[in-house]
Amino acid sequence: MGYGEKVKKWFFDEEGDEYDVADESYDAVEVDTEPKTSLFEQPKYSKTTEAVKALNASKDSHLVLFEPRSFGETQDIANYLKSKKATVVNLHRLQKDQAKRVVDFLSGVIYAIEGDIQRIGPKIFLCTPHNISVAGTIDLDEEEQED
């Protein structure tokens, strides 16, 4: 007696006679193995999903966040840029003169690796090596540019 017959007997045979199983043909049931996403998990905008897919396609690219507390930590940022990883540098914890030194040093590193540096906020910079491109710009208000 096969597995299907045992299950059928267990559900439909009340008398317990294991040899009295009717030979019925039944349709095969298709089981959907793809996980279904809920309405909340579906992407709202196709541009966002295209950008995420493009980022996932290049597994070599990484984004590293830095918030240096001294100029000495700038070499660590340069090492990440040399290893082709993008960095976001938040200079809020540095004095104005030290923040300027960090930006000058990183500008030299960016020039050497043919990358790009962009200001994305007050005292926040995005540094990217040549293998990572950035589309778009962020316009800062007048009071944000003075910092």
| Residue 80's CATH number | 3.30.110.150
User: Which residues sit opposite 116 in a β-bridge?
Assistant: 128
Question: Helix, strand or coil for residue 88?
Answer: strand
**Rounded average pLDDT over 89-117:** 95
In a domain, residue 56? The reply is no
Q: State the residue range of the domain holding 93.
A: 61-130
In a domain, residue 105? The reply is yes
In a domain, residue 95? The reply is yes
Number of domains, the chain: 1
In a domain, residue 52? The reply is no
Question: Model pTM?
Answer: 0.56
Give start and end residues of each alpha helix (H) in 27-147.
Answer: 46-57, 74-82, 96-112, 142-145
Instruction: Output the pLDDT for position 6.
Output: 72
CB 82 within 8 A of CB 109: yes
**Rounded average pLDDT over 54-76:** 79
Where does the pLDDT of residue 51 fall: very low under 50, low under 70, confident under 90, or very high at 90 and above? low
